[in-house]
Chains A and B, each alone.
Chain A
């Protein structure tokens, strides 16, 4: 008798665990349904004329980011923001929670996907209100109902009219609606060490240095001279973005096949030659070895970088760096390109729509705030007016560039950027391509083998690709 009760008990326990499994399944399918429902309501809202925002009910404003750049911008420039600790703040009565997830290996995107697909079932305090995206994968979120159109937030085209066109093109969905806004125009160029330029080229004048690297042929010649003097030009991973921004087609074609563009192929061949000649290194971006060029002892000629690089990556606040002595110069480089840039997106289902709207407007369109950001953080801000203003005045002179005013070049670069060949697979493809090619550059594989490995790695990352 007792035994039977016991066996019943065990059976019940087993059944319970089975049901536990079932419930999980059903919630995940529900989440999918809810998601499409959210999309429906979003389209309905679009039908109505002027979007009337519901009153804010959320007590917590959740912001998803991958580093602390935007956080420090808000801390320093958004009035009414009170810092509580490293990941918490307050705007009025609303608690602001920053969640930082590192970008690498698609970790940030995976984290975001998880949250956004479960947005509907999340409790009010856990709902994502704002998430930030980068150009590499912006399309994925823009072409999905998880992000809100700016017009649904009550932000008009007129509000955004002073922004550079490319920054809006990246975040336009299939119907032409703008779904994000950025405070940065990240046109980029080459940042060179003035002292080394004098040694190699006999001058550190930006115009002359630009001449020495006006196109890739000249750049490669200069790199050879740089190597002869015992310096390294930069890392192959630095030049990568310059090539990959000037491609003639997307990474993935309509048939879901991965295509290596000829400009990217040119990067492989040019870089292999330069690495073999000892003119470029193969260090990973952000690694210790790559960072040593921030000091003269590192013997690195320069970095490819945009304006945020000045403030964020050159360690100007540390003693003995080239930046601290104002030893850098800035030129446009061989091809115009952009790097990074952060777009603010409003998550569908936010319960703080008015606050979100105000944050987006203040941080990305308010000219006083933008000028402040440009002056304090040397960011190249997303406002034609502010940039023109800075280019024409001493306010735009940057100390770590030895007093050079780079804003005219930055503004010119921002006008030229063409982003018609972005795809939602860019981050994974770019990352894996560089990783795989490193094997070729270092002589551990021939080009075909390295390409094969790239194909393999990309398919692991995106199983849908062929």
Chain B
């Protein structure tokens, strides 16, 4: 009797320590989430200095978003740019990670290089985009160099072609995030039991075989984690394309991402449509998060 109440008394500290989190979660996550869903059922915007609404309109906002065809288009743009950035990024990271963790290479100045490849992530995305915007302007340094070495005769308008804009955005995302991915993958690679590599070497496996037959399969959980977090991050792609294209997503909105579209509605204080769009994005991201849970849960069962 006495013992039990002592445990309870001790356990209360657990709850007390949880309070800050619960309060912060309720105030900054739950309330905005619920109010976003609530707002999505209203017509609510400002025209000039007059406030229109909020008037209850049911699912009208959702209907608008589904029927005007913008959502799939911008989702497609977002995914294309994400894939264009993610594929080179994961390849580069795998290569660097394999090199850094391979004890037989004995790379020098490892810490230095690890720091350097992580550095682009420390630059503000908008500053990075501004830098690229200036570099690739019609009369910018990249065009001058290309013209001077005679590769092109007229300045190439990087900002006026669909694929050059998308490639620039993908390149920037790749540059910004490959360091982060490398470090994650390295952690995964270092967690693999070294005796497996030794055994493979003794059996006469080449380093390519070791990479494909041992490193990659054992790295799978980390790879999936990296892929899903990067996908969720990619869906929220905003600052780089927004700054690079000056918010227009041009040419012909081919580089407009979902969040840029959301920003357009919120900028005109159209909370109803913005809310409805957010709910759609919540669902999409939710489905992807469920996939993460499924994969990690399965891995635990298999591993133990």
A-side residues, CB < 8 A to B, are: 2, 6, 9-10, 13-14, 17-18, 20-21, 32, 105-106, 110, 113, 116-117, 140-141, 144, 146, 282-284, 287-289, 292, 424, 435, 438-439, 442, 444-445, 449-450, 453, 456-457, 460-464
Q: Contact between B26 and A13 (Cβ–Cβ < 8 Å)?
A: yes
Complex CA gap A429/B199 in Å reads 70
B-side residues, CB < 8 A to A, are: 8-9, 12, 15, 19, 22-23, 26-27, 31, 35, 45-49, 51-52, 68, 70, 134, 137-140, 157, 160-162, 246-248, 250-253, 264-265, 267-270, 273
Which residue from chain A places its CB closest to the CB of B23 in the assembled complex? Answer: A13
Q: Contact between B19 and A9 (Cβ–Cβ < 8 Å)?
A: yes
Which residue from chain B places its CB closest to the CB of A291 in the assembled complex? Answer: B139
Q: Contact between B47 and A464 (Cβ–Cβ < 8 Å)?
A: yes
Q: Which B residues lie within 8 Å of A284 (CB)?
A: 246
Complex CA gap A146/B35 in Å reads 30
Complex CA gap A434/B19 in Å reads 53
Q: Contact between B26 and A14 (Cβ–Cβ < 8 Å)?
A: yes
Q: Contact between A116 and B49 (Cβ–Cβ < 8 Å)?
A: yes
Contact pick for A13, options B22, B161, B251, B252, CB 8 Å = B22
Known contacts A442-B157, A453-B252; A462/B19 CB under 8 A: no
Which residue from chain B places its CB closest to the CB of A32 in the assembled complex? Answer: B51
Q: Which B residues lie within 8 Å of A449 (CB)?
A: 252
Can you identify 19 A-B contacts, CB atoms within 8 angstroms? A14-B26, A17-B27, A106-B268, A110-B269, A117-B49, A144-B48, A287-B137, A288-B139, A289-B137, A435-B250, A439-B251, A444-B250, A445-B251, A445-B252, A460-B265, A461-B267, A462-B268, A463-B268, A463-B273
Q: Contact between B137 and A444 (Cβ–Cβ < 8 Å)?
A: no
Q: Contact between A292 and B26 (Cβ–Cβ < 8 Å)?
A: no
Q: Contact between A13 and B47 (Cβ–Cβ < 8 Å)?
A: no
Q: Contact between B49 and A140 (Cβ–Cβ < 8 Å)?
A: yes
Q: Contact between A2 and B137 (Cβ–Cβ < 8 Å)?
A: no
Q: Which B residues lie within 8 Å of A289 (CB)?
A: 137-139
Q: Contact between A105 and B247 (Cβ–Cβ < 8 Å)?
A: yes
Q: Which A residues lie within 8 Å of B46 (CB)?
A: 113
Q: Which A residues lie within 8 Å of B264 (CB)?
A: 457, 460-461
Report the 7 A-B pairs with minimum CB-CB distance, sorted nearest first: A444-B251, A464-B47, A463-B45, A442-B160, A289-B138, A460-B264, A140-B48
Q: Which B residues lie within 8 Å of A10 (CB)?
A: 19, 22
Q: Which A residues lie within 8 Å of B139 (CB)?
A: 288-289, 292
Complex CA gap A213/B269 in Å reads 44
Q: Which B residues lie within 8 Å of A20 (CB)?
A: 27
Distance in Å: Cβ of B251 to nearest Cβ of chain A = 4
Complex CA gap A14/B157 in Å reads 54
Known contacts A13-B22, A449-B252; A106/B267 CB under 8 A: yes
10 more CB-based (< 8 A) A-B contacts, given A17-B23, A283-B138: A2-B8, A10-B19, A13-B22, A17-B27, A21-B31, A105-B247, A106-B268, A110-B267, A140-B49, A289-B138
Contact pick for A144, options B49, B157, B268, CB 8 Å = B49
Distance in Å: Cβ of A306 to nearest Cβ of chain B = 24
Which residue from chain B places its CB closest to the CB of A449 in the assembled complex? Answer: B252
**Most chain A CB inside 10 Å of its own CB: which residue of B47, B161, B269:** B47
Q: Which B residues lie within 8 Å of A140 (CB)?
A: 48-49
Q: Contact between B19 and A453 (Cβ–Cβ < 8 Å)?
A: no
Q: Which B residues lie within 8 Å of A21 (CB)?
A: 31, 35
Complex CA gap A140/B46 in Å reads 12
Complex CA gap A344/B157 in Å reads 40
Which residue from chain A places its CB closest to the CB of B251 in the assembled complex? Answer: A444
Q: Contact between A18 and B8 (Cβ–Cβ < 8 Å)?
A: no
Distance in Å: Cβ of A185 to nearest Cβ of chain B = 27
Distance in Å: Cβ of B78 to nearest Cβ of chain A = 18
Distance in Å: Cβ of B294 to nearest Cβ of chain A = 31
Complex CA gap A254/B12 in Å reads 66
Which residue from chain A places its CB closest to the CB of B27 in the assembled complex? Answer: A17
Known contacts A2-B12, A18-B31, A287-B137; A463/B251 CB under 8 A: no
Q: Which B residues lie within 8 Å of A438 (CB)?
A: 160, 250
Complex CA gap A453/B70 in Å reads 11
Which residue from chain A places its CB closest to the CB of B250 in the assembled complex? Answer: A439
Complex CA gap A435/B19 in Å reads 50
Q: Which B residues lie within 8 Å of A144 (CB)?
A: 48-49
Distance in Å: Cβ of B9 to nearest Cβ of chain A = 8
Distance in Å: Cβ of B24 to nearest Cβ of chain A = 10
